Structure 1
Amino acid sequence: MCEQLQLPDSYRELLPQIYLPLGEWISRQRLLQGKLCYVFGVNGGQGSGKSTLCHFLKLVMEQGFDLRTVGFSVDDLYLSKRSRHVLARNQHPLLATRGVPGTHDVASGLELLNRLRTLRANEATYLPSFNKAVDDCDPMEAWQTCEGPVDLVIFEGWCVGTPAQSEASLAIPMNALEREEDADGQWRRYVNQQLAGPYQTLFARIDALLMLKVPDLNAVKQWRGQQEQQLQAKAGKQAGVMDEESLARFLMHYQRLTNHALKTLPDLADICFHLNESHGIDKVQINKMLC
């Protein structure tokens, strides 16, 4: 598995220490709750390693626990560039930038989760995908298919499971972006309304939640920058790959809810992995024992 995913040797140590116990916990919860299809959510700041963890966990659950597993990201639900431009024109210009609640097709996410939960043998469904290099949805002919039945869905994303903020907490701008481009708070109020409404309906479909808690926002900036460099190397000069200045502005869109998640989710999630600056796990916080 490590060779297939090109992972460092440290993951060999994590297999018995982290992934097998986590897999056992998920497998037992699924059985104890009587769920034919169990939805496991993964939250983590940008660059925290969500995709790697979920890919590795998928292989562990399939090969170690014989559970038919499918994974997808909230990023795969982003609205098309054209749809976001319409949203920006009708609601607020900042909504042209993907990322915050309000820039996803939540209805499609709900439909997909419902479909995966009820998918029978010899039935299949499509898994949507989004191309960050061009900042737009992949054409449907490029989507992967998933055949039923599905025992486990791993649903990951930077805002997955995050609760809405209080109205009072929206009053003070978080950064230069909010001060200069959202002085009246219209954008952040719209984002919070979406998070409080449709997104909570989507997150309610999650049976258990794991949080990857990043050390701080500086780590997010550094790790997300590394991801952008990898994307640059892969895409070349393809449009959509951000330079350092563009990335700094881009991350300001995420800062408010990333901070909010860091304060609230460690105690709300069922399990929290506290990460250090080297992406290692310093502490495993278990808030929900086997029920």
Structure 2
Amino acid sequence: MAQIIDDKSEHCVPFIIDRITKHRELYASKGQQAPPFFVGLNGVQGAGKTTLVTTLSQTLSSAPHNLPTLVFSIDDLYLPHTQQEALAASQPANPLVQHRGQPSTHEVKLGTDLFSSIASRKPNVRVPSYDKSAFNGAGDRRPEGEWETCNRDGEKPVEVVIFEGWCVGFRALSDGEVEAKWKAAVEEFKAKGENYEGRLGRLQLKSVLFVNERLREYDEMTSQLGAFVHIDAEDTQYVYDWRQQQEAAMRASKGTGMSVEQVNNFVNGYYPAYEIYTEVLRKGIYPEQGRQLRLVVGKDRRVKNVFKL
């Protein structure tokens, strides 16, 4: 996999520190201790999220900030393998849920419970973990005994959570908005045939509406985020090459993983969500100004433009 150079943290660190400062000032004005701060990070697969969150975690945790930071991926909320198989069997005509990925394939309550425990500084909190290499790349949740523990006795509790993932921050649309996007995609598919690069126009409307409805459950986590960073690819088609690079690295390191064709089919299952919800992210997912940072990156993953929303 090509080396990813971090040119994003220089934009993100000042933004996040400013948001944390405002967060603490708000609670101090009420004579209260501020609860831990939650940061959301969205980016298509392979855009450089892992590299960025590593830098953010190290920077926030060390002097002069000294803010114990937990990095948590929405991927670690994926359903256990058996539950994912059951979901797929319950929706046999819906290709979007035949493998992990789309909203509806996560256990949202597991995430909201984790957020609640950290927000209240509960001790000895177990952090869910998912093994993407299990079942030849289909994945499975790790046994709870293998999960990490944060807020251990005698340690400073977590003060910042970085919640990252490809669909973090997605907001459900109305059924009418989804249908309008779907109809436009269908017309484009009819006009271009196999030259059509998207996936939305190849689907049944009911499949898309199912995922959109389940996405509403994710709002509880999204609304708790005090700051949001969106790594926005100039062209979402980049995700295919970026995801192939990730899987090649996994095969090299673990000796198992998906084939090139399997990866493309896998990304196909995600891609309709990019077509539906990316516009929402670009406009901003919160009514308040200043809570979101958008970094536009090119094929080389380098930042080209920065917008504060």
TM bracket (short chain): 0.7 to 0.9
**Secondary structure of residue in 1 paired with 2:220:** helix
Per the normalisation by structure 1, the TM-score is 0.85
Q: Is the 8 A contact 1:23 1:61 kept in 2?
A: no
Separation (CA, whole Å) in 2 of partners of 1:218 and 1:161: 20
Cα deviation, residue 177, structure 1: 6.3
Q: Is the 8 A contact 1:23 1:60 kept in 2?
A: no
Q: Is the 8 A contact 2:178 2:276 kept in 1?
A: no
Separation (CA, whole Å) in 1 of partners of 2:115 and 2:133: 26
Q: How many residues align?
A: 270
Cα deviation, residue 179, structure 1: 6.4
**Secondary structure of residue in 1 paired with 2:246:** helix
Q: Is the 8 A contact 1:19 1:60 kept in 2?
A: no
Tell me what 1:167 maps to: 178
Counterpart amino acid of residue 39 in structure 2: F
Select 1:112's aligned residue among 111, 114, 117. Answer: 114
Separation (CA, whole Å) in 2 of partners of 1:218 and 1:88: 26
Q: Does 1:186 align with 2:206?
A: yes
Q: Does 1:31 align with 2:24?
A: yes
Q: Is the 8 A contact 1:177 1:249 kept in 2?
A: no
Q: Is the 8 A contact 1:41 1:209 kept in 2?
A: yes
Q: Is the 8 A contact 1:170 1:189 kept in 2?
A: no
What does residue range 1-291 of structure 1 map to in structure 2 within 5 Å? 11=6, 17-34=10-27, 35-64=34-63, 65-92=65-92, 94=95, 95-120=97-122, 123-134=123-134, 135-147=139-151, 149-165=157-173, 166-168=177-179, 169-171=181-183, 172-173=185-186, 182-183=203-204, 185-195=205-215, 197-236=216-255, 238=256, 241-268=257-284, 270-287=292-309
Judged with a 3 Å threshold, the aligned counterparts in structure 2 of structure 1 residues 176 and 151 are, in CA distance, closer, same or farther, namely closer
Separation (CA, whole Å) in 2 of partners of 1:78 and 1:29: 33
Per the normalisation by structure 2, the TM-score is 0.80
Cα deviation, residue 85, structure 1: 1.0
Cα deviation, residue 20, structure 1: 4.1
Q: CA RMSD in A?
A: 2.3
What are the ranges of 5 or more consecutive residues in structure 2 without an aligned counterpart?
Answer: 28-33, 190-196, 286-291
Separation (CA, whole Å) in 2 of partners of 1:205 and 1:23: 15
**Secondary structure of residue in 1 paired with 2:62:** helix
Cα deviation, residue 260, structure 1: 3.0
Q: Is the 8 A contact 1:127 1:144 kept in 2?
A: yes
Cα deviation, residue 106, structure 1: 0.2
Judged with a 3 Å threshold, the aligned counterparts in structure 2 of structure 1 residues 224 and 68 are, in CA distance, closer, same or farther, namely same
**Secondary structure of residue in 2 paired with 1:213:** strand
Cα deviation, residue 21, structure 1: 2.0
